[in-house]
Chain A
């Protein structure tokens, strides 16, 4: 029969219960209530909105999910991919928006680093968390998903690195959705002036294959001269809905290398923004999208040059199987103050099926007159001559396609300096490449 309602977990009454379960300071409860009011006022994004015109969410039913009020589902986390074989400075694991485990080396605390679940650190370091939240650039009113996340966030991770502190070993963040749960994380990574860190973030599903929901946000704030390497693997199950807003702000001469691999989810809609706010800031963003079945992944990137002499380099590569679809919409925006900007954006798509579809929409919006901004996009199928060449040398067709797909992504893998992480990403993709006729 036509759709039926299973849960009504995001009602005002449930929200009140959620707040009662939180034991949070008044300022935060007030902030949550304001965002809840916005959530109730706003409509779901319209199909007329340019940002949503290619992403159909009519089958998304929020009332099939519940607020994360009860304690975490008992769950033994699967072995993560990214951290395998890596010596870590700390690891934070959440299950269904509840902190499940947090470990860290002794040296972190002695250096003044704060790390762990944002919800738990709020209890011990309320004023600092309040100050950090007040510095966020993400607009909780930008759409209904953003308001929902700001009102109902739970769990999430926080890494705060004080001025001048360099973390030698990576941090690992692992978010798990188990048995059709929700992940409403707010994650913050804050590097004060001159600090540096490497963060490996991973999202996985476990359990019975029920639809899950991630409605999350990520805020990265880099002070002057800070240096962050952030590597993310979104590997949800293909029944998970994924709505996220990611934002990084770079101070003077700060440097960010951001690698984002997305392979999971039924439907993803991600806004990924980088603001180059300080003179001489530099960011490199690498995206790997690999889709199959009827997956739909939509990425909207913005490289916003607010200060002079900054450099941004965005490279997104997608390989699509079956009837899957990707949407990439990128924008380089240069403010009048952004003279001597060097901006680049590129999206390459490899269509592994004649039913797959990739929409690629690069854009420029430039208000300064002394800049270099370029963009490009390519879409193609696997070259039959390359397959013929490989099969002539003894490879099967399937092996040849795998080799070609690996080569397609190699440009991005080469930018990852941690060998084991590079291998893990390559392996995760190679596992999914099937044989094609």
Chain B
């Protein structure tokens, strides 16, 4: 398993809000919601499109292309047309710094 890597500071993302980042040859979306941070692959499992351009409704991130919804906490696909979860990664907060560790699936 890879190490935690510092990717941003807490002030970089409003609450609620999202931020796109590149880490270890992956494009990820970092979500700030109700004081918690989550990290997902920036990939809609329906057609491979980017999720980060979509809107955040509660704990659901909505794909801008076809409306698939993903739970930012688990990556679970909540609605059609997506049927598979998108990958989620570990996030750690240390002071003002945000760290992400890639979880390979």
Contact = CB atoms under 8 A, between A and B. Distances in A.
A59 B27 contact: yes
16 contacts: A1-B6, A2-B7, A2-B21, A2-B23, A3-B22, A47-B49, A47-B50, A54-B47, A54-B48, A54-B49, A56-B27, A56-B50, A59-B25, A59-B27, A325-B48, A359-B47
Interface string A142-154: 0000000000000
The 7 A-B residue pairs with the shortest CB-CB distance in the complex, in nearest-first order: A3-B22, A58-B27, A54-B48, A2-B21, A2-B22, A2-B7, A59-B25
Interface residues of A, number: 12
Interface in A331-383: 357, 359
Contacts of A59: 22, 25, 27
Interface in B55-90: none
A359 B49 CA distance: 13
A53 B63 CA distance: 13
Interface in A209-267: none
Given A1-B5, A1-B6, A2-B7, A53 B25 contact: no
Contacts, number: 26
Contacts of B49: 47, 53-54
Query: Is the contact region of chain A dominated by helix, strand, or loop, or is it mixed?
Result: loop
A266 to B, nearest CB: 9
Contacts of A357: 48
Interface string A1-21: 111000000000000000000
Given A2-B21, A59-B22, A59-B27, 11 more contacts: A1-B5, A47-B49, A47-B50, A53-B47, A53-B49, A54-B47, A54-B49, A56-B50, A58-B22, A58-B27, A325-B48
Interface of B: 5-7, 21-23, 25, 27, 47-50
A375 to B, nearest CB: 21
A59 B23 CA distance: 10
Given A2-B22, A2-B23, A3-B22, A56 B5 contact: no
A131 to B, nearest CB: 44
Interface in A294-327: 325
Interface in A18-34: none
Nearest to A54: B48
A2 B23 CA distance: 6
A53 to B, nearest CB: 7
Nearest to A47: B50
Contacts of A58: 22, 27
B96 to A, nearest CB: 16
Contacts of B21: 2
A82 B7 CA distance: 46
A239 to B, nearest CB: 10
Nearest to B48: A54
A47 B6 CA distance: 28
A53 B21 CA distance: 20
A357 B25 CA distance: 20
A434 B50 CA distance: 31
A1 B48 CA distance: 25
Contacts of B22: 2-3, 58-59
A328 to B, nearest CB: 14
Interface string A27-48: 0000000000000000000010
B48 A56 contact: yes
Nearest to A323: B105
A398 to B, nearest CB: 24
A47 B50 CA distance: 9
Nearest to A58: B27
A318 to B, nearest CB: 16
A127 B9 CA distance: 60
A213 to B, nearest CB: 16
Interface in A55-73: 56, 58-59
Contacts of B23: 2
Nearest to B27: A58
Nearest to A211: B25
Contacts of B27: 56, 58-59
Among B21, B22, B27, B48, the one with the most A-chain Cβ atoms within 10 Å of its Cβ is: B48
A281 to B, nearest CB: 36
B42 to A, nearest CB: 8
B87 to A, nearest CB: 11
